[in-house]
């Protein structure tokens, strides 16, 4: 990140203004993904400037049907306006474009793999349960919808990890999510038995 500190500070300031104060897909999520990216990048030969920028911008197009593609286009515009070099912009765009589970792309670069893992880790474990429940409440998904979402998406994330550290961190979060779902189903069955 040497030499790009000012640009990254400007980017962070801009992102803080653009994202909602929200732990589901807003600034709280972005900050956690950013910090997880730093953890995952330890001892890896990654472009830290590109990774930091990608983490800050990965959900900037949230709300669009294909948010990863929209986020990648917006990231390119923003980084160009801030004067980032083309080489960094290309790495950021590729990482942002391929980070999403629903986007179906396989991350190619190391920066993209780290970002993808960080984003998926934030959807798992206790934080993942909170995010899924909070988002589910917004869209009236209900308990059955939460279970379906967890089974169709969240429980698959562990097997999509690209980095060694990502796989290690995902294991514990995956176990917690499985135990939570088992307990949730058990409690629902107990209630159903009574009627």
Residue 13, domain CATH: 1.10.3210.10
Distance CA 103, CA 97 (A): 8
pLDDT of residue 109: 93
Task: Assess whether pLDDT exceeds 70 at residue 2.
Answer: no
Residue 116 lies in a domain: no
* pLDDT computed for residue 66 by the predictor: 84
Write the pLDDT tens digit of every residue in 117-161.
999 999 999 999 999 999 999 999 999 999 999 999 999 999 999
Contact between residue 145 and residue 133 where contact means Cβ atoms under 8 Å apart: no
How far is CA 185 from each of CA 71, 86, 131, rounded to the nearest angstrom?
36, 50, 19
Q: Do 77 and 152 belong together in one domain? A: no
The 10 Å Cβ neighbour count of residue 79 is 23
Which range of residues forms the domain containing residue 150? 123-195
Domain count, the chain: 2
Share of the chain above pLDDT 90, in %: 84
C-alpha span between 93 and 106 (Å, rounded): 14
The pTM score is 0.93
- Specify the residue for token string 């909070």: 134
Mean pLDDT value across residues 86-90:
97
Out of 44-53, 95-104, 110-119, 133-142, which region has the weakest mean confidence (pLDDT)? Answer: 95-104
First to last CA, the chain: 61
Mean pLDDT estimate for the chain = 93
Residue 36's pLDDT band (boundaries 50, 70, 90)?
very high
In sequence order, what DSSP letters do the residues of 34-65 get, joined into one string? Answer: HHHHHHHHTTS---HHHHHHHHHHTTTTBTBT
**pLDDT at residue 103 is higher than 80:** no
């Amino acid at each position: 990140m040497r030499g790009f500190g000012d640009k990254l500070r400007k980017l962070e300031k801009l992102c803080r203004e653009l994202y909602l104060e929200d732990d589901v897909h807003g600034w709280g999520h972005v900050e956690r993904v950013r910090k997880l990216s730093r953890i995952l990048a330890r001892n890896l030969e990654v472009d830290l400037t590109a990774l930091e920028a990608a983490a800050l911008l990965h959900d900037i197009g949230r709300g669009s049907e294909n948010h990863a593609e929209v986020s990648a286009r917006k990231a390119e515009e923003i980084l160009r306006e801030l004067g980032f070099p083309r080489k960094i912009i290309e790495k950021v765009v590729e990482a942002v474009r391929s980070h999403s589970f629903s986007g179906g792309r396989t991350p190619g670069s190391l920066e993209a793999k780290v970002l993808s893992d960080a984003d998926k880790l934030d959807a798992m474990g206790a934080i993942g349960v909170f995010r899924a429940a909070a988002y589910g409440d917004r869209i009236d998904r209900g308990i059955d919808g939460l279970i379906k979402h967890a089974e169709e998406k969240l429980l698959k994330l562990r097997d999509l990890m690209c980095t060694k550290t990502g796989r290690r961190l995902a294991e514990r979060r995956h176990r917690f999510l499985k135990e939570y779902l088992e307990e949730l189903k058990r409690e629902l069955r107990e209630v159903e038995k009574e009627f």
